[in-house]
Homo-oligomer: A and B are copies of this chain.
């Protein structure tokens, strides 16, 4: 590996002068700079980022922890984070936890050892406890798309999940639905369910626990099986709420497979509004979660915290959610 010293010798200057040319932090006389640049080109010198990191105490790298990237929701978040980082010359260290608490803990420990300048944790309940283990309170961390109780002392960019669930319920209620089932990943999506129930409670309607179905896996297949169980439990139900899009895809199929039409016989409403759901048949109505926006804001927040040297302000920032009404919901069959 060719080092700065090699370049310096070749250009007949000191290491430091080379450093000045490379970083541009200190002025260097044009002809000297040219000599140095020539030497750099000749030798094919590339600064060693690790050495620079050690000297400056900053790695130009941010860590991101997500439960998985194999879901449209989180892959959108990853993309957006990487986008923002790239614009600022930062690199991304990605960790996925796969609903494995130990793994999550390990990741956290690894990243906090000054390998990254900041850490963004997206929607992973497994990490609530380990967060307390963090040695340095000044280390910038932020949470994104956080759903369960928000640890105070950490900034969060998320939405009001309960309200989002409420929006879904309100929509179904306004269409006259009374007998509905909910396919909900529990306990992760508890709040979405609470919101849904609240909307029905306003009209003195209850969604009993017997009409809540937890899928065995967070995939369309899981949603499919859960919806089938729901239809068996109450053949007369007129709507099914799915606590996230992937489940909704399966629900849609299960309803159709049972010979019922969507939305004629049964309305289906999803949650997240990721890209693929606009293309189902019928197109899925869903509560839209601004995933990219959340990711972008959380990332910017951390970048700001890094340059300012201060830990990010401990604030919860709630983004707006909205309902995207497409073709999978309609008036309740009488």
Contact = CB atoms under 8 A, between A and B. Distances in A.
Interface string A257-289: 000000000000000000110010100000000
What is the oligomeric copy number?
2
A221 interface: yes
A317 interface: no
A16 to B, nearest CB: 18
Contacts of A112: 46
B82 A94 contact: yes
A115 B107 CA distance: 18
A61 interface: yes
A111 B54 CA distance: 17
A30 interface: no
Contact of A91 (B44, B110, B279): B110
Contact of A92 (B68, B75, B94, B109): B94
A75 B82 contact: no
Interface residues of A, number: 54
Contact of A114 (B49, B82, B135): B49
A242 to B, nearest CB: 14
A78 B94 contact: yes
Contacts of A70: 72, 75-76, 79, 275
A185 interface: no
Contact of A256 (B69, B92, B114, B281): B281
Contacts of A94: 78, 82, 92-94
Contact of A49 (B103, B106, B113, B135): B113
A93 B96 contact: no
Given A92-B93, A94-B94, A103 B79 contact: no
Nearest to A111: B91
Given A46-B135, A69-B75, A220-B276, A114 B1 contact: yes
5 smallest beta-carbon distances between A and B, as pairs: A94-B94, A44-B135, A220-B279, A49-B113, A49-B115
Interface of A: 1-2, 44, 46-51, 53-54, 59, 61, 68-72, 75-76, 78-79, 82, 86, 91-96, 103, 106-107, 109-115, 135-136, 219-221, 224, 249-250, 253, 256, 275-276, 279, 281
28 contacts: A1-B114, A44-B135, A46-B112, A46-B114, A46-B135, A48-B54, A48-B113, A48-B114, A50-B59, A50-B115, A54-B54, A61-B115, A69-B79, A70-B72, A70-B75, A70-B76, A70-B275, A75-B75, A86-B95, A91-B111, A93-B94, A94-B94, A219-B275, A220-B276, A220-B279, A221-B279, A249-B279, A253-B279
